[in-house]
Every structure is written in structure tokens, then in C-alpha cells.
Amino acid sequence: MLKPLKVAGEIYWLGANDRKKHLFENIWPLPNGVAYNCFLINDEKTALVDTIESGVAGDFVEKVESLLAGRPLDYLIINHMELDHTGEVKEILKRYPNVQIIGNSKTFKIVEAYWGNVNNFKHVEDNEELPLGHHKLKFLMTPWVHWPETMMTYDVTEQVLFSGDAFGSFGTLDGGVFDDEIDFTYYEEDMRRYFSNIVGKYANMVQKAFKKLEGVPVKSVCPVHGPVWRSNPEVVLGLYDKWSKMEAENGVVIIYASMYGNTEQVADYIARKIAERGVKKIRIHDVSKTHISNLINDIWKYKGVILGSCAYNSQMFPLMEQLTRELEHMGVKDRELGIFGSYSWNGGGVKNIKKFQENVSWNLVSEPVEIYGIPDGKKLAQCDALALEMAEKLK
């Protein structure tokens, strides 16, 4: 039912909302859904820039047909091969068998792996141009944002950037599609969570993409998820620049693993001591309750991180181990870290969080606090010191 919307010149948004899917990539929760965007350029030559996930909009091909009004589709540009953007490629190929698919050498390999031999594949190189009539496109290779084959397509005429996953967000487009039609405060958390969960591992590649875009005038940013930025693209560009540089707010997230509540009580104690030092941005999460997607989001948001784990089979608590492994995998940098934990038989929680700290080289604000049973006065004094040092780092 959603109608195509004009972005600029002869560029039309063809998007769809997905409120059914629970988990993006079958792992990341979608409490607010997700939108898939793609764009049709209806010029002397016609071009579809990406498609959407299969089956989300039952009438996708019909919408393309309706916009083209009987004209052929000349080009299908694949900026990114992940199936949330290539889900309708097979249907497009059925309806338009003569369409020329545009991608790079890496795109082509994956196309073959998915769909076998495809005719009419046109390899493009970095900075190669394609005139469509009024519009002229330029292809920018931006690998690993977020897979190795990813590229962006830039409309030189209208200064529109089709950016793929970069500058995208979780969250459906509930009426408003363009940035000037929405209340962005609703999207910011979902955008950071999308960035940190999906793109964050490739933060350095996002910075390389920014280098490539230096001096390129951008009036509109058209990502494949979330709002389309036609009025204030500097907002989304600025946030992605900040997050990909790992810049964070002066706040702290405390994440604990606790079986019977001792470690949890220490988390509350430390949080209170930090609050008494004037820090207002403090969040506490139980690793067993809060999804890792939200934990990673808060770790990307705040400069201070305090991890606390009970011992479990002489190791960290399994879900804390999962979190730290994922953080190592993602390469999150430049955080201030506090460590605490408790044990009653063998230790293992604190020792292994310390190993994690050494692996990621985060700054340890004070000596880890390891508590046998219930904290005594000496251990609480160590917690006080941890809280004080963390609060100092956040000034």
C-alpha cells in the first residue's frame, strides 16, 4: 500500500516496513521493527538501486512496474548483497530478464554463489560513472560497510548518496519517511543500536568511507534502513562519524552477572557511590535479563563500563563471557573499565574479566574488586575507590 515517494529529480523511494520479524539477522531484537529502503531512478535510462527483503511488500515488483509505466528497467544496481536488500532480485530478473546488473567483482562472486550464472552483469570500478540522462551516477567502493562487496552509489546531478547500510537505523517508518517528517528523538537509540550491533565492528571502514566522501557535496542521504535524510543529512553523518570514532558520552554502564544477588548488590552499591560523585548518566543491567544487543548499545554510548561477574565453574558467568567475547570481536576501543565480582567456592569471574581487559586494552580505573561471600568493610572501601576513580574519569 505504501506509495513511491519522490526524493529529488526523478528519484523515487520504494520502501517497506517489517513489523513481523522478531530478530534482525536472526539475532538482534526488533521491538520497533525495521524498514527496508530502495530507490528507483526513472530517467531516460531507468535504474533500481537495491531491492528489499523478499516478501515484506507483496506488491514490490508491481510498484516498480507502475512507476516505469511500461518502460524497461535498464539497470539494477546492487550496492550490497545481504539478502535484506537482494530479496527481490530474483523477481526483478523474472520480470525484467534483460536488466543489466551493476556491481563490483566481489558482488558478482556472491551473485553467482546465490543464483548461478547471471547474464548481463556489468562490473564497475571505483569512481566509474554511469549517465542515465538528467541523472549521472558515480560508484564509490566502500568495502566492509558492512560486507566486503559493499559500495555506495552517488547521484552527481542531485547530490544524493545511496549509502547502503551506512547511515541506517532500526525502526519502521511510521508515516514519516524523510528526516523532516519525523521526531528523530524516537529513532536515536534504535540508530545507535543498529550502528553498534551491525556496523560497529567495521567502524574503521566507516571512517575510510568518510575519507572517500571528503569534498563530495551531499544534499540527501538514502540509506537502506530507517529515515531518508533530505533536509539535514549532517545529523546522521555527524552521529556515524562520532560513533565510528568510538567517541562516547560521559556516563557509565554497569553490567553484572549474579546468581543469588550478592554481585547485584555490589553493582547497586558502586552505582550509588558514583551518583554521590555527581555522575547522572548511570545505567545498570543484569546480563541475564537485558539482551546483548542493548548491552552493546550502552557500551557504545558511554565512556565508562563496569563489569561484575560471579564465578561460575571457575570462569565468568556464561552470559558475561558471551558479552566480553562479542566486545573483543567487535573491537570496541577507548573505554574506562571497572571490574568487580564475587565467589563462594572457586573464583574465576574477576580473573577472566581481567584477561578480557588485557585483550582489549581498555583503561582499568582501579584494581579489580574480588569479594569472597559478602563484602566486608575493606572490600566496600575498594568499591568506593573504584566508584571514585570512575567518576573522576567521567568529569
Residue 165 sits in the site that holds ligand FEO (CB under 6 A): yes
Where in 310-369 is the site for ligand FEO (CB under 6 A)?
none
Largest CA distance in the chain: 80
Grid coordinates representing 157 are 546531478
Minimal distance, residue 122 CB to ligand FEO, in Å: 22
Which CB sits closer to ligand FEO, 103 or 341?
A: 103
In angstroms, rounded to a whole number, what is the distance separating the alpha carbons of residues 95 and 161? 27
Minimal distance, residue 36 CB to ligand FEO, in Å: 8
Among the listed residues 393, 361, 367, 395, the one whose alpha carbon sits nearest the alpha carbon of residue 381: 367
Residue 80 sits in the site that holds ligand FEO (CB under 6 A): yes
Among the listed residues 100, 93, 102, 97, the one whose alpha carbon sits nearest the alpha carbon of residue 120: 100
Minimal distance, residue 149 CB to ligand FEO, in Å: 10
Interface with ligand FEO by CB under 6 A: which range of 78-86, 112-120, 245-253, 332-340? Answer: 78-86
Which CB sits closer to ligand FEO, 12 or 202?
A: 202
Which CB sits closer to ligand FEO, 84 or 179?
A: 84
Residue 201 burial (10 A CB sphere; 0-12, 13-18, 19+): middle
Q: Phi/psi of residue 250, each to 5°?
A: -80, 80
Which CB sits closer to ligand FEO, 45 or 85?
A: 85
Residue 50 sits in the site that holds ligand FEO (CB under 6 A): no
Q: Which residue is nearest to ligand FEO (CB)?
A: 82
By CB under 6 A, the count of residues binding ligand FEO is 9
Q: Do residues 273 and 241 touch, judged by C-beta distance below 8 A?
A: no
Q: Phi/psi of residue 290, each to 5°?
A: -85, 130
Interface with ligand FEO by CB under 6 A: which range of 82-90, 155-163, 229-237, 292-300? Answer: 82-90
Among 50, 84, 88, 298, binds ligand FEO (CB under 6 A): 84
In angstroms, rounded to a whole number, what is the distance separating the alpha carbons of residues 244 and 172? 23
Minimal distance, residue 223 CB to ligand FEO, in Å: 9
Which CB sits closer to ligand FEO, 74 or 84?
A: 84
- Name the 3-class secondary structure at 171: strand
Which CB sits closer to ligand FEO, 80 or 193?
A: 80
121 bridge partner residues: 101
Residues 6+ apart with CB under 8 A from 117: none
Interface with ligand FEO by CB under 6 A: which range of 79-87, 178-186, 214-222, 337-345? Answer: 79-87
Interface with ligand FEO by CB under 6 A: which range of 76-84, 97-105, 109-117, 248-256? Answer: 76-84
In angstroms, rounded to a whole number, what is the distance separating the alpha carbons of residues 332 and 258? 24
Grid coordinates representing 84 are 535484506
Which CB sits closer to ligand FEO, 121 or 147?
A: 147
Where in 125-164 is the site for ligand FEO (CB under 6 A)?
146-147
- Strand ranges for 135-267 from DSSP E: 136-141, 151-155, 160-164, 220-223, 249-257
Where in 85-124 is the site for ligand FEO (CB under 6 A)?
85
Residue 224 sits in the site that holds ligand FEO (CB under 6 A): yes
Which CB sits closer to ligand FEO, 15 or 304?
A: 15
Which CB sits closer to ligand FEO, 10 or 82?
A: 82
Grid coordinates representing 368 are 579489580
182 bridge partner residues: none
Among the listed residues 191, 196, 261, 257, the one whose alpha carbon sits nearest the alpha carbon of residue 34: 191
In angstroms, rounded to a whole number, what is the distance separating the alpha carbons of residues 301 and 297? 6
Which CB sits closer to ligand FEO, 165 or 336?
A: 165
Could you list the residues that contact ligand FEO (CB under 6 A)?
A: 80, 82, 84-85, 146-147, 165, 224-225
